[in-house]
Homo-oligomer: A and B are copies of this chain.
Amino acid sequence: MRDDYLVKPVLKAMQVLDCICSSDQALSLQHVSVEVALPKTTVFRYLRTLVQSGLLSYDPERDVYGVGLKIITWGRSNARLRNLRDVCIPHMRALRERFGETVNLGVLDGAEIVYIEIAESQHALRMQAKIGGRDPAYTTAIGKAVLSQMPEDERLRHIPPKLRARTGRTLRSLAQLALELDRARTQGFAEDNGENEEGSICVGVPIVDPAGAPIAGMSISAPAARLDAARKAQFASMLRRVAGEISAGLDAPRPKMMTPIRRQA
């Protein structure tokens, strides 16, 4: 969606906002200014405006700007996702009770998947993704499950031009990935054998709308030490059943949502 209707002050202010919200600490004017490569004065104005709007908070003692509380409120308010979450949570809890491992729910955003709900394992040793956290789609079971349900052309829009290795096992070529996705489609679930995080194995399935288009993915993740082939197969079959039930129940609302492709860094 290229556009001549973009309002530049807003666009730039959103860069500033992104800069601060993506940081894990509050930032100074100076810092933000160099980070987004905009003049100090301009950034200063945006920061003030964003504080006024309640999107940023300002600590006068240290002269730094942080994420405002309004954003935390907003983060939970996306109705479609909340709906999806509400439907999935009971299933996810049941899966966690049954297998004792972490269950993840994620949606695709550009070339990344965003975790929108997590039912944590109670094991001391567990893979801990965070709600709102992101991983590349092509390195995760959820991502591959979702991609596997897409037509070729759309799929490509969600895969970055070059695949960067997260671990020694990460797939490096599009050809390999295509094979893997084909396999996932035919067998109905995708795997991640330590491709995203060393030692962490995931089994993921797609959740599809009535038209068959994928809208989310659900996975169970566990340390390699606790996950042999037999158990993995169990996970896969339970996940497939659950995802089927959820998909079947998703007829009333239209859960499709277009988000522009994320530009690569």
Which A residues are closer than 8 A to B by beta carbons?
Answer: 1, 3, 5-7, 9-11, 13-15, 17-18, 21-26, 44-46, 48-55, 57-62, 66-82, 107, 109, 114, 116, 130-134, 254, 256-260, 262
Q: Which residue of B lies closest to A48 (CB)?
A: B5
Inter-subunit contact B52/A11 (CB<8 Å):
yes
Chain B residues with CB below 8 A from A3, complex form = 48-49, 52
Inter-subunit contact A49/B79 (CB<8 Å):
no
Chain B residues with CB below 8 A from A254, complex form = 59, 61-62
Provide the main secondary structure of the chain A interface.
Answer: mixed
Chain B residues with CB below 8 A from A81, complex form = 67, 72
In the complex, what distance in Å separates the CA atom of A61 from the CA atom of B17? 29
Known: A67-B77, A73-B133, A79-B26. A51 touches B5 (CB 8 A): no
In the complex, what distance in Å separates the CA atom of A21 from the CA atom of B22? 19
Inter-subunit contact B54/A262 (CB<8 Å):
yes
Chain B residues with CB below 8 A from A72, complex form = 75-76, 78, 81, 114, 116, 131-132
